[in-house]
A and B are shown apart, each in its own frame.
Chain A
């Protein structure tokens, strides 16, 4: 350790290791991972979210597997929670994950093609 900058570098790199263990005031991505979700392909979807968040270094974005919300027919379902705002996406695949990350999480604009309203019959 030769300088304070060295310490700061290690700190910034290591911070990813522990940020999850604090208050969650950022964006939460909930992936429906009940049996229906898993069989519809929720697992690669969740993994993709985790990978994208890691590779783009997005701060304060967490991914949490959750249970079934009841709309099993349109799984995989992903919800994005940001403060009071809740956006529900359906039939999410790898391609949709990329769009949600690019357009919604980073860009701040809801990906309207996949929102639940489009799928409700």
Chain B
């Protein structure tokens, strides 16, 4: 019997952590109780994208989008919607309801209708554990096309024509990179998938690996055919257990279908894929460090050239592509370079996936055409800043990128424009920072990360990042001077210019971009000894304003009893005792406590 309805349960890591794991069992129990289990198909999908509102359940054929579903809600979806056909309006995602209480289908919701999904085309729509669902969505047709109808040179030309550029952050044209390895004469070459996603706040690659693992395998094999490799590795960090599990299932199924192995499609092309686990070091996302790690050595970068395309893994020509790049490749081949190059702008083709996080309403995973403005992503797709706070900056590129101020939000998203704005595309982390944050503090956060993750091989990065963090700590403690600021800027420039690999070269980016766009905030710390964001504790003083209603809530919650005042009287904070924990500010019902 064919199922009359499909129930898709988002099982991306974010929804699992919000309790999606028990939903499937709950559905099984309820559908069996109603005797309609064999009419309904249950599908555990990858990330749906709107993680802030998870866990999700989507019911087809109507495409009804249920959000924030808990185990106890499953009963009413089964009883009402699946059994009686009455949509459970109170569980429908609120943006999917029109003012007339009509339910909009999932792809008509603003969050999705503004997106163009190329890399994420299958994410959240198919069961990643079922190769047939991938094949049904034209999976592996690109591979068949290149193996049977195209020469490796034609594949490379097609990739160059498409304009696809590396999605790991660098933005190097993928076809050109492949050509380097293709032109090398060697009996053994390698393809590697770089799945060592490590930026704080970035989870695009994880979502792709979990939601559509076959697209990565297919991309890797198309690359292998183009450059003349018959062996591929997927380097993925052990911190992504679900992704590893999905990849293992996908590889096993592809082998059973004869899509990985010998003589694929009867073309004579052989390819094998193995998974290599990394221990979760940020530097291993750098190509040469990644290669060292696969070879069994300590993950440290080396000088380039020679580039891996010439001498990489075990000295053999090696191409390393990022997860998102690989996920795009089958779509480019299947639909053609012309189709792909119509999306995006002149220099940046296609789409980019971002993981939207920080102070934003609809945190989650979004994919937009290149050339979309940051403002559209943040306000139209992301839904803006919670509590109507003002936006201060957007950090793209994580610890290697920079902060883009409000005034530049109308910039189109492209590799070049973001670099010109002092940031970079990066792998796709997009952290929204609102007015209640301190830029010095955010700099410290990123520098703490790079200090920890520096491999220690070259002095500028090992010592420079540490020294820069020390200066930032001095500034945030209120002991800094203008000379410290000048020195920080100079040191940042030196580290950027003299570090061995991308990690050190990009580590000063947050400092440099924030000094460019938010210098007044740094100066407020050293000159006025004030923290405008109200974050750096030594620089803030809490005060009660006149609109205090004397509810005594602050005094009751103060851990050091430094707030005095009786009922219905204005309260007062004794700053000599205050430890600046901010609890009073958070509990005040009338926002009468401010930090100055």
- Contact surface of A with B, Cβ cutoff 8 Å: 1-4, 6-7, 10-11, 13-18, 20-21, 23-24, 28, 30-35, 38, 46-47, 50-51, 53-54, 62-67
Q: Shortest Cβ distance from A6 into chain B, in angstroms?
A: 8
Q: Is B231 an interface residue (CB 8 A)?
A: no
Q: Is the CB of A31 within 8 A of B84?
A: no
Q: Which residues of A are found within 8 Å of B266, using beta-carbon distances?
A: 2-3
Q: Which residues of A are found within 8 Å of B82, using beta-carbon distances?
A: 65
Q: Is B489 an interface residue (CB 8 A)?
A: no
Residue in B60, B125, B136 whose beta carbon sits within 8 Å of that of A11 in the complex: B136
Q: Is B126 an interface residue (CB 8 A)?
A: yes
Residue in A2, A15, A21, A50 whose beta carbon sits within 8 Å of that of B60 in the complex: A21
Q: Shortest Cβ distance from A65 into chain B, in angstroms?
A: 3
Q: Which residues of B are found within 8 Å of A20, using beta-carbon distances?
A: 5-6, 60-61
Q: Is the CB of A17 within 8 A of B136?
A: yes
Residue in B8, B83, B130, B138 whose beta carbon sits within 8 Å of that of A65 in the complex: B83
Q: Is the CB of B265 within 8 A of A18?
A: no
Q: Is the CB of A1 within 8 A of B258?
A: yes
Q: Is B137 an interface residue (CB 8 A)?
A: yes
Apart from the given pairs A3-B266, A50-B39, 13 other A-B contacts in the complex at a CB distance below 8 Å: A2-B265, A10-B132, A16-B2, A17-B130, A17-B136, A18-B136, A21-B125, A53-B2, A64-B5, A64-B61, A64-B62, A65-B82, A65-B83
Q: Is B1 an interface residue (CB 8 A)?
A: yes
8 A Cβ contacts from B83-127 to A: 83-86, 107, 125-126
Q: Which residues of B are found within 8 Å of A28, using beta-carbon distances?
A: 61
Q: Shortest Cβ distance from A89 into chain B, in angstroms?
A: 16
Q: Shortest Cβ distance from B31 into chain A, in angstroms?
A: 13
| Number of A-B residue pairs at CB separation under 8 A | 101
Q: Is the CB of A66 within 8 A of B85?
A: yes
Q: Which residues of A are found within 8 Å of B277, using beta-carbon distances?
A: none
Q: Is B24 an interface residue (CB 8 A)?
A: no
Q: Is B583 an interface residue (CB 8 A)?
A: no
Residue in A14, A33, A50 whose beta carbon sits within 8 Å of that of B136 in the complex: A14
Residue in A18, A34, A54, A63 whose beta carbon sits within 8 Å of that of B137 in the complex: A18
With known contacts A16-B2, A34-B85, A47–B39 Cβ distance under 8 A: yes
With known contacts A64-B85, A65-B85, A11–B4 Cβ distance under 8 A: no
Q: Shortest Cβ distance from B591 into chain A, in angstroms?
A: 46
Q: Is the CB of B144 within 8 A of A7?
A: yes
Q: Is the CB of B85 within 8 A of A33?
A: yes
Q: Which residues of B are found within 8 Å of A2, using beta-carbon distances?
A: 258, 265-266
Q: Which residues of A are found within 8 Å of B1, using beta-carbon distances?
A: 47, 50-51, 54
Q: Which residue of B4, B130, B257 has the most chain A CB atoms within 10 A of its CB atom?
A: B4
Task: With CB as the reference atom, state the residue of chain B lying closest to A65.
Answer: B85
Pairs of residues from A and B, 7 with the lowest C-beta to C-beta distance, nearest first:
A65-B85, A54-B2, A14-B136, A1-B258, A14-B132, A62-B61, A66-B85
Task: With CB as the reference atom, state the residue of chain B lying closest to A63.
Answer: B4
With known contacts A20-B61, A24-B61, A14–B85 Cβ distance under 8 A: no
Residue in B41, B61, B62, B265 whose beta carbon sits within 8 Å of that of A4 in the complex: B265
Q: Is B140 an interface residue (CB 8 A)?
A: yes
Q: Is the CB of B133 within 8 A of A7?
A: no
Residue in B8, B61, B259, B265 whose beta carbon sits within 8 Å of that of A3 in the complex: B265
With known contacts A7-B141, A35-B84, A17–B133 Cβ distance under 8 A: yes
Q: Is the CB of B140 within 8 A of A34?
A: no
Question: How far is B3's CA from A63's CA once the two chains are assembled, in angstroms?
Answer: 10
With known contacts A20-B61, A50-B4, A53-B2, A4–B84 Cβ distance under 8 A: no
Q: Is the CB of A65 within 8 A of B2?
A: no
Q: Which residues of A are found within 8 Å of B141, using beta-carbon distances?
A: 4, 7, 11
Residue in A16, A34, A50 whose beta carbon sits within 8 Å of that of B84 in the complex: A34
Q: Shortest Cβ distance from A37 into chain B, in angstroms?
A: 8
Q: Shortest Cβ distance from A120 into chain B, in angstroms?
A: 23
Q: Is the CB of B259 within 8 A of A67?
A: no
Question: How far is B259's CA from A63's CA once the two chains are assembled, in angstroms?
Answer: 35
Task: With CB as the reference atom, state the residue of chain A lying closest to B124.
Answer: A21
Q: Which residue of A11, A17, A54 has the most chain B CB atoms within 10 A of its CB atom?
A: A17
Q: Is the CB of B257 within 8 A of A1?
A: yes
Q: Is the CB of B265 within 8 A of A67?
A: no
A to B CB contacts below 8 Å, 19 in the list:
A1-B257, A2-B265, A4-B141, A7-B144, A10-B135, A17-B41, A20-B5, A28-B61, A30-B85, A33-B83, A46-B4, A50-B2, A51-B1, A63-B4, A64-B5, A65-B4, A65-B83, A65-B85, A67-B84
